[in-house]
Amino acid sequence: MMNKDKFDLHIKITTTNDSNAIKALKTRCQEQGITLTISQLKQAVSKGALWLTRGKHTQRLRRVKKSLIQGDELHFYYNEKVLASEVTAATLVSDEQDYSVWFKPYGMLSQGSKWSDHCTIARFAQLNLIPERAVFIVHRLDRAATGLILIAHSKKATRALSAMFENRNVDKSNLAKYYQIIVHGDHSKNAQPQVISSDVDGKSARSTFTCLAYNKNKDQSLIKVKIDSGRKHQIRIHAASIGLPVVGDRLHGVADESETQDLQLCAVSLSFICPLTDIKKQFELDEHLRPLLIP
């Protein structure tokens, strides 16, 4: 029996009777005994649950009135829990026309899945930039992390900016990314700055930790972090490796109910030589959006 809260439908368009996506979806749902209203279907489509395959190309379909032709295939991925998800709005830090810089809040994804993209920074930027532009992800922040993220608005900008991030150790972009984290323990006792160069997932990784403040009452430290490589969960893994796990890190740090805060890891500064203009760019996150070491 089909799970009515989470399912996928794949519809081959064979007749002109299925002239648009909503009509085709409604017909197939009725055949499967699924009771979704037209309004519910349209809402799911608007949140990115519908894909269209035409020839060799597959992409999300949001235009419910788009005419379909024989040979098209619709792929509908319905997940009630995912579609009901909500996130805090992102904040535009700077609109550079070819790209924009945003503050990504906790819980917002960098990119979507087949089930939806309505909780992503990419979709949020597309809906809220004036004028509206195409959006392309250049680099990523974990769902649980917050901070500065850069979005490109053309394929040319995407290629240039992506190459800048991928080749940070060999090009002349002067790319520098700084983070702030709050960790359990007293980092001020360690050598300052502390360079951590242990491998992450078998790959070389280097992070530089500098203690900014220590709260004795809570036994927590505020640390500035510079990374010279971009391995997945690098900062969290390096922090845990020296016995100072990031507050809120339930994957690499404290994994019990005593950990009640969100992940205290934030990308606070981003600077580089723009590959499109050769102009030095620097973006700093406002203090009120950074991790706060509560007295």
Spatial distance between the Cα atoms of 68 and 232, rounded to a whole number of angstroms: 41
- The answer to whether residue 283 is domain-embedded is no
- The answer to whether residue 276 is domain-embedded is no
Same-domain pairing of 37 and 78? yes
Expressed as residue numbers, the domain containing 32 is: 6-83
Spatial distance between the Cα atoms of 70 and 157, rounded to a whole number of angstroms: 36
Same-domain pairing of 143 and 189? no
- The answer to whether residue 208 is domain-embedded is yes
- Residue 67, domain CATH: 3.10.290.10
Spatial distance between the Cα atoms of 285 and 103, rounded to a whole number of angstroms: 8
Spatial distance between the Cα atoms of 139 and 142, rounded to a whole number of angstroms: 10
Same-domain pairing of 98 and 78? no
Tens digit of pLDDT per residue, the chain (295 long)? 456 899 999 999 987 666 789 989 999 999 999 989 999 999 999 999 999 999 999 999 998 888 888 899 999 999 999 999 999 999 999 999 999 999 999 999 998 999 999 999 999 999 999 999 999 999 999 999 999 999 999 999 999 999 988 875 445 568 888 999 999 999 999 999 999 999 998 899 999 999 999 999 999 999 999 988 778 899 999 999 999 999 999 888 776 777 778 999 999 999 999 999 999 999 999 999 999 887 6
Smallest CA-to-CA distance from 225 within 132, 119, 234, 216 is with: 234
Same-domain pairing of 10 and 77? yes
Q: Give the pTM.
A: 0.88
Active site residues: 142
